């Protein structure tokens, strides 16, 4: 049976990646139809392997048709790692390394990881779990896939290196999910690891405080704009008109999207109005109906001057500015570098899926937005070792208000600003 299950696992992992179900007939075809009498036992063992080994739940959704779906418990997609003869030990090693980093206070030394590799080589089942060139897999493949960050320890002499979770690990899973997986493997309760449980819970609570931001993570209407050439061109054109405080006519807009689209223009125009309003806090208002002339009215108040200038990344940059100012506001007017970085990583991973990546994303926040005085980036007083935090800059305070930002978030989430009582009171106090 072990041989049959070993044959079945890579197929299930591929099904998981493709988000495809699998049937009893397919499973029997893989393991050999002669084993149909052992089917309940095979399914039971496979379910345990998939759950404990890879954080994937095999669940029956159609009992009459014997159809199963593969549900992520740990959250990791493993994209970019499949279709390999060593897929099973590689995925297992990824989970082990992420767990070690979490257990070592989110940062593991090279020696910590090497120790794990040496221990794995000594295990009785080592021939099944040890991969070729494990160090290269960790320091190159997992870094390239953004599951890990591999960096020099600051001011280390002689030079030492350390591992952290990469952007993709942060985007796909959480410390609590990793802890729950660890507890399940050891048949324990997550609370039996009190220090780790408290740390994971604290991170979950920080995430919850930023919950209204979740629907701002590259929202659907903005994706539609970025993936539609006509919409993207028109929105970029209107944002430049807004910066120059110029009016715009129907003829100009038709020229941008091409006259051939005249009959579709009402639909395009409706989507553009929604995108400009919800995406950037700008209202497109008709001021001369006979002449079909429009003005761009600031609702959120931000001018965006200094961010435009012949930049093909204008749309995601505007969105990220609003996203960042909102994150600062929602954390009581100051947000730690660590918390903001995690939120921005999530934004960036979602943006990556939509092909709207901002080049040097963190530099844009820590340098460009600071230089434009939208943000203040400073060391936390008396912190040792040094910690950093973000606040609204003088320009953000001059151009907008906390109430306007809250109203913008509420509009995005189709809610009333008062449905966020703590934030509403905070914004009201500022007013």
- pTM for the model: 0.54
For residue 82, tell me if it sits in a domain: no
| In a shared domain, residues 230 and 286 | yes
Structure confidence by residue, pLDDT tens digits, 18-74 = 888 998 888 888 887 676 787 888 888 888 888 888 889 998 887 787 899 988 888
In a domain, 375, yes or no: yes
Q: Do 219 and 175 reside in the same domain of the chain?
A: no
Q: How many domains is the chain built from?
A: 3
Say if CB 399 and CB 301 are below 8 A apart.
Answer: yes
Residues of the domain holding 182: 95-206
> Residue 373's domain is classified under what CATH number?
1.10.10.1200
Three-state SS at 43: helix
Q: Are residues 197 and 249 in the same domain?
A: no
Residues of the chain with pLDDT under 50: 128, 215-221, 227, 352-356
154, 180, 206 - which closes a domain: 206
Check whether residue 155 and residue 286 sit in a common domain: no
Domain contains 80: no
Same structural domain for residues 295 and 338?
yes
Last-in-domain residue among 164, 182, 206:
206
- Same domain? For 202 and 214 the reply is no
CATH number at residue 119: 1.10.10.1210
Q: What is the reported pLDDT for 352?
A: 47
Say what the pLDDT of residue 348 is. Answer: 63
With respect to residue 319, please indicate whether it lies within any of the assigned structural domains.
yes
In a domain, 78, yes or no: no
With a CB cutoff of 8 Å and minimum separation 6, the contacts of 325 are 374, 375, 392, 396, 400, 405
Instruction: Indicate whether 191 and 261 sit together in one domain.
Output: no
User: Distance (Å, rounded) from C-alpha 397 to C-alpha 326?
Assistant: 13
138: which DSSP letter?
A: I
Which residue, among 124, 122, 101, has the nearest Cα to 113 in the 3D structure? 101
185 and 214 in one domain?
no
Q: Which helix (H) or strand (E) holds 283?
A: strand 282-288
Residue 146 inside a domain? The answer is: yes
On whether both 303 and 413 belong to a single domain, the answer is: yes
For residue 310, the model assigns a pLDDT of: 52
C-alpha dihedral sign at 349, 353, 354, 355: positive
**206, 223, 249 - which closes a domain:** 206
Q: 295 and 416 share a domain?
A: yes
In a domain, 392, yes or no: yes
Q: In the prediction, which pLDDT does 267 show? A: 79
User: 346 and 242 in one domain?
Assistant: yes
Residue 225 and residue 245 share a domain: yes
Q: Kindly state whether residue 81 falls inside one of the protein's structural domains.
A: no
How buried is residue 19: exposed, middle or buried, by Cβ count under 10 Å (0-12/13-18/19+)? exposed
């Amino acid at each position: 049976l072990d041989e049959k299950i070993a044959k079945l696992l890579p197929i299930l992992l591929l099904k998981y990646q493709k988000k495809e179900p699998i049937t009893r007939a397919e499973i029997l075809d893989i393991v050999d139809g002669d084993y149909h009498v052992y089917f309940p036992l095979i399914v039971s063992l496979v379910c345990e392997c998939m759950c404990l080994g890879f954080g994937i739940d095999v669940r029956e959704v159609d009992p009459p048709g014997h159809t199963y779906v593969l549900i992520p418990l740990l959250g990791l997609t493993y994209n970019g790692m499949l279709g390999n003869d060593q897929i099973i030990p590689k995925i297992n090693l990824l989970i082990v390394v992420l767990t070690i980093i979490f257990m070592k206070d989110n940062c593991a030394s090279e020696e910590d990881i090497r120790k794990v590799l040496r221990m794995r080589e000594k295990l009785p089942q080592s021939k099944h779990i040890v991969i070729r060139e494990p160090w290269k897999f960790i320091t190159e493949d997992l870094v390239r896939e953004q599951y890990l960050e591999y960096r020099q320890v600051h001011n280390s002499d002689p030079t030492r290196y350390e591992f952290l979770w990469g952007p993709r690990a942060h985007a796909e899973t959480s410390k609590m999910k990793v802890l729950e997986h660890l507890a399940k493997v050891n048949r324990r309760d997550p609370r039996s690891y009190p220090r780790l449980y408290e740390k994971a819970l604290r991170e979950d609570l920080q995430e919850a405080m930023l919950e209204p931001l979740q629907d701002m993570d590259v929202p659907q209407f903005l994706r539609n704009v970025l993936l539609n050439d006509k919409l993207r061109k028109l929105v970029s054109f209107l944002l430049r008109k807004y910066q120059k405080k110029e009016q715009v006519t129907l003829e100009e807009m038709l020229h941008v999207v091409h006259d051939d689209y005249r009959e579709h223009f009402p639909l395009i125009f409706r989507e553009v109005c929604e995108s400009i309003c919800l995406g950037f806090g700008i209202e497109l208002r008709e001021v001369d109906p006979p002449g079909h002339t429009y003005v761009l009215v600031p609702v959120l108040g931000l001018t965006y001057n200094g961010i435009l200038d012949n930049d093909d990344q204008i749309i995601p940059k505007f969105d990220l500015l609003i996203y960042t100012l909102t994150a600062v506001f929602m954390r009581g007017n100051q947000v730690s570098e660590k918390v903001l970085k995690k939120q921005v990583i999530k934004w960036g991973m979602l943006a990556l899926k939509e092909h709207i990546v901002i080049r040097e994303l963190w530099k844009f926040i820590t340098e460009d937005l600071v230089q434009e005085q939208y943000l203040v980036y400073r060391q936390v007083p008396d912190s040792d070792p040094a910690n950093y935090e973000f606040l609204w800059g003088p320009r953000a305070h001059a151009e907008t208000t906390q109430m306007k930002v809250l109203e913008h978030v509420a509009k995005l989430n189709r809610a009333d600003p008062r449905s966020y009582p703590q934030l509403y009171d905070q914004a009201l106090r500022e007013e």
